[in-house]
Structure 1
């Protein structure tokens, strides 16, 4: 690797506020806030809104989609194109 062209990689804590979990990993991101981790060391902390702990794809929870309501809304807005009796 060429010297002085790559960003500094450091240990950083990412904290998911929605799920209430935090994990320590390496990143080039830095933060002004610091938090004391389980090993007793202090690391920069970055708060995130969504991580694998709270994202519906990873947790297996999906939002309830009101497809019948969407169809009715579409028909009210654009009218029915299906002939009667079909």
Structure 2
């Protein structure tokens, strides 16, 4: 390997949004994770309930507020 062309590989602290902290090595000193093995539904076996009903209602309110476009007449 050539010298002086590779990035520094140093100790790294990875912090998840759930509060879990992992110590590893990387080219960055700190990494923030959105999800990790401690809080991911696949690894924990639990599933968080997402407010899909609220999203659907919001879409319906927006969609109902619009008026349908008039249908074009067929040319003979």
Alignment of 1:15-26 (within 5 A): 15-18=15-18, 20-26=19-25
Whose Rg is larger? 2
Extract unaligned runs of 5+ from structure 2: 50-76
Q: Where in structure 1 do 4 or more consecutive aligned residues deviate above 3 Å?
A: none
Bigger helix fraction: 2
Corresponding position of 2:33: 48
By relative contact order (CA 8 Å, sep 6+), the higher-ranking structure is 1
**CA deviations over 1:11-56 (Å, ceiling 9, x no partner):** 01101122x11011001123xxxxxxxxxxxxxx322111111111
Q: Does 1:28 align with 2:13?
A: no
Q: CA RMSD in A?
A: 2.3
Extract unaligned runs of 5+ from structure 1: 31-44, 65-86
TM-score (norm 1): 0.48
Bigger strand fraction: 1
